[in-house]
Amino acid sequence: MPEEASDVVVIGAGLIGLSVAWRLAADGIQVTVCDPTPGTQTSSVAAGMLAPVTEVEYGEDALLALNLASVAAWPGFAAELEALTGLPAGLNRTGTLSVAYDVDDAAAIRRLAEYQRRLGLEVEELTGRETRKREPLLAAGVTAGVWVAGDHSVDNRQTVAALLRATELVGVRLIRQRVTRILTTGTTATGVQLESGDTITAPQIVAAAGPWSAQLEGIPQELLPPVRPLKGEILRLRVPEAYRPALHHTVRATARGFAVYLVPRPGGELVVGATTSELGYDTRVLAGGVFSLLRDARMILPITDELELVESVAGLRPATPDNAPILGPSGIDGLLWATGHYRNGVLLTPITAQVIAETVQTGAVPELAAPFLASRFSEHGQADGSAETVPKVAR
Ligand SMILES: Cc1cc2nc3c(=O)[nH]c(=O)nc-3n(C[C@H](O)[C@H](O)[C@H](O)COP(=O)(O)OP(=O)(O)OC[C@H]3O[C@@H](n4cnc5c(N)ncnc54)[C@H](O)[C@@H]3O)c2cc1C
């Protein structure tokens, strides 16, 4: 079987794999990316919210620091991508409005706002009237809001397209094939085998296979990352010219206890998401999912009834037991994880690329990423969370 060589092989061409490949190749490293369906999976399904503040969950403080670092990195990342490719990266820095439908919903968003303030995050509580002043087409029944200036959004499909072009421009080799096996000698990864039977040898492999990361073959079962697929259905609606812009900001609503978000795109698209279900690799869109998203969206934005339903799709969030990504050493020399980004993979794209590129080139995991090592899930994980070191790839 033909055998080729590369400095680095990246498994997976979603936002994570593509951005890692771009960063490494821009630094002069020879990179090969393998993916049978580049850019078309979870990264193209997502809503594209860049929302460290409104996504914050009780007890996820380490993740918050990483999320904040990544939202801060997004403008530079987008500008660099646009300068290189001449394509839009899709960044939309318009802030986010959390809204509540009834009084119980209002109590819930106020409790969260209180927690966000305790964490030092910038949030501004609004009355129902003030909320509707910012978004005049919201339902008259909206009782309260919380304004979050620092949470933004991106048209993630534009980002994927720009990254595919950027990787091409910096000389990344894209092979449209599945990796069937990670090749090892003893406890060292030496390359990958493709569907065709061909192999690519490389001193460094970065596994960025999203929700499929735990299915990779060739390494011991106990070293596979604990990543599982968490299904989410999402809709894309089209706002007729007469109603544009239906919304000026991302709106995240609590509507009679149900969570729904509406993310407007400058071109008139409105993304409505998302359901959450543990159904393995099932990506069928169920009628119940579409029903509940539309029911909740129209409660908050009554003109939803007048919008064209353009797309309904389901994707698989790469979820982990603690909702945080898995970055860096795998327990196999020469194999790094860049996976498990769960509901924040679009947000975490720039910082993940930075962390993994630095790890590959310096041999050390940056301090910011130390809480996200795979070893935190193993019995022998580093109890102090300190960074591990890995062999480095020279430019
Ligand atoms: C409904 C929904 C809404 C979301 N909304 C947001 C949001 O608003 N904001 C946010 O930040 N995140 C959001 N996310 C999460 C985000 O989409 C993911 O965290 C992110 O896309 C993960 O990127 P990835 O590159 O790891 O995975 P993917 O985009 O799935 O890419 C993985 C790639 O690996 C390839 N692959 C798999 N196995 C192999 C193999 N053996 N060989 C070669 N290639 C392989 C696949 O073909 C795929 O292209 C959402 C997710 C869903 C489902």
Q: From CA 324, how far away is CA 276, in angstroms rounded?
A: 17
The DSSP call for residue 271 is E
Among 87, 29, 147, 20, which Cα is nearest to 394's? 29
Locate the ligand 1 atom nearest the alpha carbon of residue 40 and give its number: 49
Q: CATH 3.30.9.10 spans which residues of the chain?
A: 96-149+229-319
CA dihedral 8, 88, 147, 133 (to 10 degrees): -160
Give the residues surrounding ligand 1 with Cβ less than 6 Å away.
11-17, 34-37, 41-43, 45-49, 178-179, 208-212, 216, 232, 234, 273-274, 315, 317-318, 339, 341-347
Contact criterion met (CB below 8 Å) for 327 and 358: no
**Per-residue confidence in pLDDT tens, the chain, 395 aa:** 678 999 999 999 999 999 999 999 999 999 999 999 999 999 999 999 999 999 998 888 889 999 999 999 999 999 999 999 999 999 999 999 999 999 999 999 999 999 999 999 999 999 999 999 999 999 999 999 999 999 999 999 999 999 999 999 999 999 999 999 999 999 999 999 999 999 999 999 999 999 999 999 999 999 999 999 999 999 999 999 999 999 999 999 999 999 999 999 999 999 999 999 999 999 999 999 999 999 999 999 999 999 999 999 999 999 999 999 999 999 999 999 999 999 999 999 999 999 999 999 999 999 999 999 999 998 655 434 344 545 556 54
- In angstroms, what is the span from residue 347 Cα to ligand 1's centroid? 12
Q: From CA 205, how far away is CA 203, in angstroms rounded?
A: 7
Among 215, 230, 216, 214, which Cα is nearest to 326's? 214
pLDDT, position 57: 86
Locate the ligand 1 atom nearest the alpha carbon of residue 318 and give its number: 19
Locate the ligand 1 atom nearest the alpha carbon of residue 234 and give its number: 1
pTM: 0.96
Q: Where are the alpha helices (DSSP H) in 102-217?
A: 103-118, 128-134, 156-169
Range 66-72, long-range pairs (CB < 8 A, 24+ positions): 66/324, 66/325, 66/348, 66/351, 66/368, 66/369, 66/371, 66/372, 67/344, 67/347, 67/348, 69/351, 69/368, 70/347, 70/348, 70/349, 70/350, 70/351, 70/352, 71/150, 71/151, 71/152, 71/347
- In angstroms, what is the span from residue 42 Cα to ligand 1's centroid? 3
Contact criterion met (CB below 8 Å) for 180 and 194: yes
- In angstroms, what is the span from residue 39 Cα to ligand 1's centroid? 9
Contact criterion met (CB below 8 Å) for 233 and 285: yes
Q: From CA 200, how far away is CA 249, in angstroms rounded?
A: 46
- Which of 34, 42, 327 for mutating ligand 1's site (highest number of atoms within 8 Å of CB)? 42
Out of 3.30.360.10, 3.40.50.720, 3.30.9.10, 3.40.630.10, select the CATH number for domain 96-149+229-319: 3.30.9.10
- Which of 198, 212, 282 for mutating ligand 1's site (highest number of atoms within 8 Å of CB)? 212
Residues 6+ apart with CB under 8 A from 232: 45, 273, 274, 275, 276, 277, 314, 315, 316, 317
**Secondary structure (DSSP) of 192-234:** EEETTS-EEE-SEEEE--GGGGGG--SS-GGGS---EEEEEEE
Locate the ligand 1 atom nearest the alpha carbon of residue 347 and give its number: 11
Q: From CA 45, how far away is CA 43, in angstroms rounded?
A: 6
Q: Is 296 helix (H, G, I), strand (E, B) or coil?
A: helix
Amino acid code (one letter) for 126? L
Count CB atoms within 10 A of the CB of residue 241.
Answer: 6
- Which of 157, 261, 317, 326 for mutating ligand 1's site (highest number of atoms within 8 Å of CB)? 317
| For ligand 1, atom 35: residue with the closest CA | 12
- Which of 252, 339, 343, 347 for mutating ligand 1's site (highest number of atoms within 8 Å of CB)? 343
- φ, ψ dihedrals at 96, nearest 5°: -135, 140
| For ligand 1, atom 3: residue with the closest CA | 46
pLDDT, position 391: 55
- Give the containing element (helix H, strand E) for 20: helix 15-26
- In angstroms, what is the span from residue 323 Cα to ligand 1's centroid? 14
Q: CATH 3.50.50.60 spans which residues of the chain?
A: 1-91+152-227+320-395
Q: From CA 154, how far away is CA 93, in angstroms rounded?
A: 8
- In angstroms, what is the span from residue 160 Cα to ligand 1's centroid? 11
Domain 1-91+152-227+320-395 is of which CATH architecture?
3-Layer(bba) Sandwich (3.50)
